[in-house]
A and B are shown apart, each in its own frame.
Chain A
Amino acid sequence: MKTYKFQLLSLFGALILLTSCGNNNGQNKSSGALNSSNAEKVYVAPGEHDEFYAFMSGGYSGNLTVYGLPSGRMFKEIPVFSQFPTSGYGYSEETKPMLETSHGFVPWDDSHHPDISQTNGELDGRWIFINGNNTPRIARISLTTFETEEIIEVPNSAGNHSSSFVTENSEYVVAGTRFSVPIPQRDMPINEYKGNFQGALSFISVDPKHGHMDIKFQIIMPGFNYDLSHPGRGKSHGWFFFTTYNTEEANSLQEVNSSQNDKDFIAAINWKKVEEYVNSGGGKKVPAKYAHNIYDEATHTATSTMKKEVLTVNPLDVPGAVFFLPTPKSPHGCDVDPTGNYIIGNGKLSADLTVHSFDNMIAAIEGEKFDGEAYGIPILKFEDVLAGTVKSGGLGPLHTEFDGKGNAYTTFFISSEVVKWKLGTWEVIDRKPTYYSVGHLMIPGGNSRKPFGKYVVALNKITKDRYLPVGPEMEHSAQIYDISGEKMELLYDFPTHGEPHYAAGIPAELLAPKAKKIYRLDENKHPYAVTSPDQARVERKGNEVHIYMSTIRSHFTPDNIEGVKVGDKVYFHITNHEQDFDVPHGFAMIGQNSSELLIMPGQTKSSLWEPKQVGVWPFYCTDFCSALHQEMQGYIRVSPANSNIEISWSLGED
């Protein structure tokens, strides 16, 4: 019976195939799997390159993944907030300081919203920033080495979610707290939240030359939840907009208690005004403890500094700097269109989108048309600032991106769709399903002055049946749509790693030519580097043994070491002497309570081994570097703690 059914089905399928072949001759309009042009649109032939880079946040992986668009191929996972045994990030002596915080070593975080640095409101491809949500941190990643260069902790913050978005000239990367907390932290009853907890919005300055970050000031706001944010641009440059929810200031069962108010707020912050106030001596320095970790490319080493104070600003001290724009239904996404005039608040419990007008807002402020205040901060009248409402017919709007051609694209979590609508007329032009429960979406440059409106990628939260099942835990899925035409066209599905929240895309031509190929050995300033094999040596300092080792295809120098004893702390300092693109060497030591090291050409990395057992123990190269990779190994003789065997080392001697 089953076979019969199957045969019938195949026959039927074949018939469809035949008819559709005939139909396709006459018309272009076809959809689904038989539309071969969709395949062509995402097909990047072997050896060819993608048109865009897409940087997807790793969510609970704590990292950042790099994909190509339109192919959906993953190129790299960049370790940011999480230890990464693949490269030794967070395990090597050089990178352990990157994960230091005021709470000590925190080897994981929840990375959310990558944003690429901008100049004049356009992507400049110098750095990408991303927030750690759990133990509040902001990271800066180089877009030449594609490595994390800096992490700054954000004090007075918790659930660092309305982060890490950059202003139009990367003056600031901004981090807002999702969870309000006692500021400063103190021992107090939780149910005294209301009126006592506060929310910090942190403006972190970015050095225009090196990108180094420094918390310039924190605005201490009422105890709401600051959910998402985006900078003003063009005419609204100088302002920053944050959605809020839980203006009820509930401290328990928030799924009910934070949805009581019909409207929450978008907080509009005139940061230029606050900056002037601070530059002329305003604000209050308060004690705080937060780590600032910087990786130096020349020494290949990170250092961690604990900062002791932060400058805070009471918004009431800067009149005209902070206003609340009423926005319905616990708004989530807060997006600003390329012209800078429209501020879109997506009420996640609503069917409609609220669009505020910057011009209206300025007029209302100038006319002092206020509708009361909250904790002294003026509330503007909803009707005065509203530009329009998009009657979408969807459910659960979350985030909006722009194509630079006057259109906006909004995700709907509950109804699992992307809706395209027109700025100004608010009419819905198209809607396409996503699979399933889409969160953010991304158009390269889609939240800048200059979007590259060719593709939109939907980042879905739920995968279910989209791929072959792999047990209860599955990767998330992304869908790429062609948005070059009037209607969106679903092109392709691909899995993504971790839980991508937001993503940032940029044309490949802006990054690829400046991607670093090797680190120059003659520029290596690592204190334990050996720049030629004859400098390789082993030194004992008490119970510390420092092995200055070099690697080149296909040996370690030295590869025979004696005189190490049980109880020693053995530091391997390994310099890769290759100066060829894509020839890393790996290093792994049997029984080492750590990860491997993967050392790039010209780089030095160190790791600690504490031998516990007498014997002769091998180490080897973990990267298949050459045809003689299997020969790339060595031995360390470990003698008893009371042995008097002197340190010695060799290579190629009998």
Chain B
Amino acid sequence: MKKLVIAALVALGMTVSSLPVMADFTFIVPQKPGSGTSVWTAIVAGELEKHLGEKIKIVNIPGANDIPGFNKFHNDLQHDDKTVMVSHGGNGVSYLVDPVDYDYYQYDPIGMMNLTIINGHSPGFNPYTGIIKFSAGSGMNPDMMAHILLKGGPDLTMAQAEEIFASQYKYIKGMSGGDRRLSFQRGGELNVTRESTAAYNKYYNGKEFSKVWFSQGVFNLETGEIDADPNWPNLSIHEVFEAKWGVAPQGEFWEAFELVRNFRDVMQKALWIKKGSPETDRLRAAFRAMAADPVSMAKIYEKTGKYDWIIGEDMVDALDILREQIQPTTLRNLVSFLQFTGKPAILKEDLIK
């Protein structure tokens, strides 16, 4: 037994001593290795290293709803000048309606990519009249709300939206991305699906079992409104809505949708560092250099679709616009609706003070 204990200790020592030399920067990803954000971070970090001139180590700290990793950055890891947080759209949704420690407004933003989400439906299915079957999930909520908005038409009230959800919607729980794709492809089990631009092109575009419905559009930094998606002409949600209903979308449900959609998609992939870090300017400069490098961007676009970076001070402006959109009534409506759909959303009074 004594020998075994010594063996275990030696093995532990061998393990620790074989740890790789620490890199210069550490990027925290709140998801598992192999997840979408991890893969995205690996590509971006690989390109950023060239312009930063230093090595980047990626550390995955996954957890429920991808919250623990960001919380750990907020409470602990951010005190290191060279530790960067990589957040994704789901963190934005959680920021609005889940109990989280992190707060975007307490860090220096480095850069973010306003990726958008494409929704499609089965060709033989009319999503405006039929019962929609769609896979549930925290990150799916803005898409589910968009479906109800498009079904409901102009000036949709919260009560009307709840009625549509209850009577014309099946929000199927327990589906992974793979399950969702297979169930949609199989036909009948799911009749509406959603993907990032790159994934939509990979899995569905041009296939007989899918028809593009709408894109969630991109964020206009000047106006704070949803703009046309350059990757999907005439298919942004407001364009599709106007084509169907003849007027621009508006009303309390639209505002609630717009709030959660923007917090998810505008910060779909975003990087943060401790406020006042001496590395902030250097990181932003490296990001600008990377964004101007066609070779680097070609590699990133291959994964994401063609979307622009929002870097440094522009990101601060975008955050200010997003903060203005958190109006008390809008947030209350959003929380109340998500609770109605079964999500344990909470009203965070500190966001509306």
- A and B interact: no
Q: Which A residues are closer than 8 A to B by beta carbons?
A: none
